[in-house]
Amino acid sequence: MPKPEYLHFFVDPNRCIGCQACVQACTECDTHRGDSMIHLEFIERSRSVQTVPVICMHCEQPTCAEVCPADAIKRTGDGVVQSARKPRCIACGNCVVACPFGVPEVYEDRQIMMKCDMCYDRTSVGKKPMCATVCPSQALFFGTREQVEQLRPMSTPINRFQFGAQVVTTRVFMMVPRALASVSPLADVTAAMHDEPRERAVTLRVLTADATQPATDSANDGGDPFADVTV
Amino acid sequence: MATLPLDELKIIEGFGPHLSAMTGVRLSTSVEPDRLVKTHCCFCGQQCGIQLKVKDNQVIGFEPWEEFPFNRGMLCPKGVKRYLQGAHPDRLTTALRRDPASPHGFSPLPYDEAIRTVASAIDRIQSAHGRHAIGVLSGASLTTEKTYLLGKFARMCLRTPYIDYNGRLCMVSAGAANKKAFGIDRTTNPWSDMVGTDVIWVAGSNVAECSPITTNYLWQAREQGARIIVQDPRITPAARTCDLFLPVKPGRDAALFAGVLQLMIEHNWLDHSFINTHTTGFDQVAAYCREWTPARTADVTGVPERSIRRAAELWGTAKSSFLFHARGIEHHSNGVQNSLGTINLVLASGRIGRPKSGYGTIVGQANGQGGREHGQKCDQLPGWRDISNPEHRKYITRVWGMDEADLPGPGVDAYEMFRKIDAGEIKGLLSICFNPKVSLPDSTFITRCLEKLEFFTSIDFFLNDTARHADIVLPGSLHEEDEGTVTQVECRVIKINKAVDCPGAARPDWRIIQDVASALGRPTGFTFTSPREIFDELRIASKGGVADYSGITYEKLERQMGVFWPCYSDDPETGRPVDHPGTPRLFEPGSYNPIARGAGPFYFPDGKARFNVAEYRPPVDDASDDYPLFLTTGRVVSQFLSGTQTRRIGPLVKQYPEPRIEIHPRLASKVGIADGDWAIAETRRGSITLRAMVVTTIRPDTVFIPYHWAGPKSVNRLTVAAQDPISRIPQYKVCGCRVRKADGPPAYAATLEPQQ
């Protein structure tokens, strides 16, 4: 049974609290118990508590599959990019190097690449993925477009990402502040890599250059809130 | 004799903490569980619903419980991995006695013999030194049934005044403030009321790490237009994106609330009609606040004046609001005043007792709420009754079937009990669900007291750090091995269901207590055959008290997925039997309660809430020339309290293995410490050596160390035993401190694993 077409995966880094419930819960999934197929990134812990859960984005044209010399990575009819097929995978790691989001991992002990398959065992029977079910901040949300529009009026989903010359369209959506998304519906990831994280940030700075002005609304927004503290 | 039987390393070798892992059936992808048991997490006060997968009397995993209304399937990493505490290599499956000749310091003995040994030691000490020479320490992670039974056991069986519990380190400042202001101690609204409110003020609560499920409510409220104010010395995940961050200097919270209220008064951002109709005492509070000008408030609190003004405006002009606080403002020698300061802001705004407007205290422990209501507190009897009140004493002794003259009076707080051990007044101790050697401040003193005990017995499922001092250890029950009720953060009483049987000679805790009573030859009142029977007596004992559970049944709990107390068996207005659904929201206009009897919505005879002057006092052992920094302590999301359980769960230990000293780069460069260096934190009590974590997300004059670790890694070797004069909560959140770079790794680094 395929994943229902009307259900989508939304990632909202603005909500993420870095608790790793998603990573811990992923190790409980029945198809790969003991191993997490997802991970949590600290953007730069020395400067910020901002974290992002990294799940497979399930690209329309998966780079991992395109670079696979053994043709081991398949995409299901409903758009889910799966772990490498056992008899084909040669554990070469091309996919690991090529994936723009840093998702696939080669398990040396088993000589195979494994990655997030959007909890296919759960989603294909109408359940939510384990990580999105437990996520206490709902930074990982699984539901309909209508639900997201109703529950998240401050942000909007985008699914196009630019990495240098490559533009990638994904099945998984990233939530970005609505005001910024209207300026550019495409996240320039390479450009954003030069951004410095700030201690406090009301908005995410992953969109193109002219949209990086944070929405300032409070008295102590922006700069270092501890600027006046003497040591 | 309660000295350690052997070198601590030898005890650790035998009894852990060792790490559990996903192995065997817990790793298999083909094993189907026999059944799913709907119950709750064993850790924090949120009490998330969870389904445990059970196979052959073992919990082998979990499945989210998406129908439970509070968390709808959501869990933090502790909840996800909680099941790995079962079938653990460190699990105590027999009684133990102290035995310096055995390789790990303890040897097994038959359960009945252990009970007899405990009873004869209690009897001997009480015969020689009087009944008060025995003390009982209990805890707020126990079910309400067990907390009720322990209160009864201390007063009726042992007839000692000395019982207190680890909620003393947790909820008592909030509880005392609530009683003073509202006449009732609980959160006023269900959490769902947060969504749709104008402003939420989070005072001293790192919700992301300490109560993660609350984050979704917070974020959902923000999506629907709420402005979020966060008051904290650290940029917590909630503070990172909040609308207004108040970077308060540790220990200055009451000053901040007074300064904000003063601005509300100046700008007339007050609900005069509410203040006049429903409160008393505003004028005294206003007079006190007059001296708290914005400039002075900024100077004392370290919060910029413009932020204080912005806070007053956001809070003052809101149409609806929610304020909640936690240990950040409560763990202070001024904790009750700090809590009263928040309540004054709420009462001045008039925004309480209606949908989308309320006030809440976030409880820390599983049964932080229920555990503080039914008599394991030193001055309390069931139903939030007062042990000094003659009417209350009469009622409870009638329920218990004992002579009122035999019921002891009030005891002392848990820390004071240790001072009484030190003074030789308390000579024997029975402890359950409490690990004071790790969790109490100035723990070197606590260790010294434990060593002075003539007899110490501990009921536990793992040999925790304190139990290593015990003469006899009785093997108790894990959360999933017994049934009962707890009351979670919203004051929703919920049902804990049993998933598996106790292993080996281990017993449900309430049976152990009753076995001791029986061996003492004092079984009367301790012959319950199930938690349900205990609960049924508790319902009667709580009836007519403020925390009235009389209308709650196990069936109603299952049917409604929880019941908010008060829940009456007889309508308080008419006295006629009623099928009461519970009280999700307090203080609604026109609501009736048995104290005010229709005079008003608050739980005082006149039905009015009380403003209380919430005075700022500087912390005890404040930062000074010798110790110029503020030391503050708290949690990380993957660990819980003293770590007895979570330091034994492999994946949780891996997530955050050891405590670190969190410092700002400006401080780090001044003292020459780089990220990852070994550093020494020192206070007037002692010093500990940990690795430094250099981050810009903390006040540069403040040092943070999480408190879940033991021995040489325990921050409570540094904290100060100063206590609030009313609530007796210790001042964990601030004391004077200094840091310097260590010459090299500490000795323990070569011998102890991260969790040990």
Per-residue pLDDT tens over the stretch B498-518: 999 999 999 999 999 999 999
Share of chain B above pLDDT 70, in %: 100
Give ∠ CA B283-B603-B565 in degrees, rounded to 5: 140
Cβ contact A229–B302 (<8 Å): yes
Sign of CA dihedral B428, B433, B435, B441: negative
Cβ contact A199–B22 (<8 Å): no
Mean local confidence (pLDDT), B240-247: 94
Res A223: pLDDT: 75
A149 touches chain B (CB under 8 A): no
Tell me, yes or no, whether B197 and B153 share the same domain: no
Q: How far is B306 from chain A (nearest CA, A)?
A: 6
Q: How confident is the model at residue B335 (pLDDT cuts 50, 70, 90)?
A: very high
Q: How confident is the model at residue A212 (pLDDT cuts 50, 70, 90)?
A: very low
Dist CA A66 CA B529 (whole Å): 67
Reported as a single tens digit per residue, the pLDDT across B630-677 is 999 999 999 999 999 999 999 999 999 999 999 999 999 999 999 999
Of B363, B388, B366, the C-alpha closest to B377 is B388
**What is the residue type of B68?**
F
Tell me, yes or no, whether B166 and B188 share the same domain: no
CB B553 within 8 A of CB B567: no
CB B490 within 8 A of CB B187: yes
Mean local confidence (pLDDT), B26-33: 89
Res A178: pLDDT: 84
Query: What Cα–Cα distance (Å) separates residue B390 from each residue in B298, B395, B525, B649?
Result: 47, 9, 21, 48
Res A181: pLDDT: 78
Where a domain ends, among B308, B329, B361?
Answer: B361
Does a structural domain hold residue B590? Answer: no
Q: How confident is the model at residue A221 (pLDDT cuts 50, 70, 90)?
A: low
Range(s) of chain A covered by CATH 3.30.70.20: 59-115
Other Cβ atoms closer than 10 A to A57? 24
Q: Which of A49, A136, A231 sits opposite B215 (nearest CB)?
A: A136
Is the pLDDT at B691 greater than 60? The verdict is yes
What is the 3-state secondary structure of B128-163? HHCHHHEEEEECCCCCHHHHHHHHHHHHHHHCCCCE
**What is the residue type of B297?**
T
Kindly tell me the burial class for residue A193, based on how many C-beta atoms sit within 10 Å of its own C-beta (0-12, 13-18, 19 or more). exposed
Res A4: pLDDT: 81
CB A55 within 8 A of CB A25: no
Element containing residue B688 per DSSP (H, E)? strand B687-694
Kindly tell me the burial class for residue A126, based on how many C-beta atoms sit within 10 Å of its own C-beta (0-12, 13-18, 19 or more). exposed
Q: Which of A20, A151, A231 sits opposite B667 (nearest CB)?
A: A231
Within the 46-105 window of chain B, which residues sit less than 8 Å (CB to CB) from chain A?
Answer: 61-62, 64, 66, 71, 73-77, 79-81
B560 touches chain A (CB under 8 A): no
Tell me, yes or no, whether B186 and B289 share the same domain: yes
Does a structural domain hold residue B589? Answer: no
A157 to chain B: which residues are within 8 Å by CB? none
Tell me, yes or no, whether B122 and B179 share the same domain: no
Within the 156-215 window of chain B, which residues sit less than 8 Å (CB to CB) from chain A?
Answer: 208-209, 212-213, 215
- Residues with Cβ within 8 Å of residue A125, at least 6 apart in sequence: A1
Kindly tell me the burial class for residue B355, based on how many C-beta atoms sit within 10 Å of its own C-beta (0-12, 13-18, 19 or more). middle
Question: Helix B144-152 crosses helix B531-542 at what angle (to 10 degrees)?
Answer: 70
Res B263: pLDDT: 98
Is the pLDDT at B251 greater than 50? The verdict is yes
Dist CA A138 CA A40 (whole Å): 14
Dist CA B263 CA B316 (whole Å): 9
Kindly tell me the burial class for residue B390, based on how many C-beta atoms sit within 10 Å of its own C-beta (0-12, 13-18, 19 or more). exposed
What's B468's domain CATH number?
Answer: 3.40.50.740
Does a structural domain hold residue B10? Answer: no
Q: What is the pTM assigned to this prediction?
A: 0.96
Query: What Cα–Cα distance (Å) separates residue B623 from each residue in A145, B26, B232, B249, B327?
Result: 53, 49, 18, 11, 20
Is the pLDDT at A201 greater than 80? The verdict is no
Mean local confidence (pLDDT), B27-54: 95
Tell me, yes or no, whether B343 and B385 share the same domain: no
Tell me, yes or no, whether B119 and B76 share the same domain: no
Tell me, yes or no, whether B70 and B140 share the same domain: no
Reported as a single tens digit per residue, the pLDDT across B82-135 is 999 999 999 999 999 999 999 999 999 999 999 999 999 999 999 999 999 999
- Residues with Cβ within 8 Å of residue B504, at least 6 apart in sequence: B93, B94, B475
What's B249's domain CATH number?
Answer: 3.40.228.10
Own/partner contacts of B545-550, CB < 8 Å, gap of 24 or more, are B545/B382, B545/B383, B545/B384, B545/B385, B545/B392, B546/B183, B546/B184, B546/B185, B546/B383, B546/B384, B546/B595, B546/B603, B547/B185, B547/B186, B547/B373, B547/B374, B547/B383, B547/B384, B548/B383, B548/B594, B549/B383, B549/B493
Within the 239-278 window of chain B, which residues sit less than 8 Å (CB to CB) from chain A?
Answer: 239-241, 243-245, 247
Is the pLDDT at A214 greater than 50? The verdict is no
Does a structural domain hold residue B324? Answer: yes
Does a structural domain hold residue B512? Answer: yes
Tokens of B617: 């006092």
Dist CA B283 CA B613 (whole Å): 10
Reported as a single tens digit per residue, the pLDDT across A105-114 is 999 999 999 9
Mean pLDDT of chain B: 97
Res A211: pLDDT: 38
ipTM of the complex in this document: 0.96
Reported as a single tens digit per residue, the pLDDT across A136-194 is 999 999 999 999 999 999 999 999 999 999 999 999 999 988 877 777 778 888 888 77
A151 touches chain B (CB under 8 A): yes
CB B86 within 8 A of CB B500: yes
Q: How far is A20 from chain B (nearest CA, A)?
A: 6
A40 touches chain B (CB under 8 A): no
A138 touches chain B (CB under 8 A): yes
Tell me, yes or no, whether B197 and B143 share the same domain: no
B307 to chain A: which residues are within 8 Å by CB? 219-220
Res A208: pLDDT: 41
How many CB pairs below 8 Å do chains A and B form together? 169
Does a structural domain hold residue B99? Answer: yes
Reported as a single tens digit per residue, the pLDDT across B152-182 is 999 999 999 999 999 999 999 999 999 999 9
Dist CA B3 CA B16 (whole Å): 18
B676 touches chain A (CB under 8 A): no
| Residue that is written with structure tokens 């840093």 in the block | A102
Tell me, yes or no, whether B668 and B743 share the same domain: yes
Mutation choice for B interface testing from A134, A147, A156, A199 by most B CBs within 10 A: A134
Is the pLDDT at A222 greater than 70? The verdict is no
Where a domain ends, among B328, B361, B394?
Answer: B361
Reported as a single tens digit per residue, the pLDDT across B282-309 is 999 999 999 999 999 999 999 999 999 9
Reported as a single tens digit per residue, the pLDDT across B536-562 is 999 999 999 999 999 999 999 999 999
Domain that holds residue B484: 95-170+368-542
B60 to chain A: which residues are within 8 Å by CB? none
The CATH fold of domain A1-55+118-231: Alpha-Beta Plaits (3.30.70)
Res B650: pLDDT: 97
Number of domains present in the structure of chain B: 4
Reported as a single tens digit per residue, the pLDDT across A52-85 is 999 999 999 999 999 999 999 999 988 999 999 9
CB B167 within 8 A of CB B729: no
Reported as a single tens digit per residue, the pLDDT across B428-473 is 999 999 999 999 999 999 999 999 999 999 999 999 999 999 999 9
Where a domain ends, among B523, B542, B561?
Answer: B542
| Residue that is written with structure tokens 């052997």 in the block | B6
Tell me, yes or no, whether B385 and B352 share the same domain: no
Mean local confidence (pLDDT), A210-227: 55
- Class of domain A59-115 (CATH, top level): alpha beta
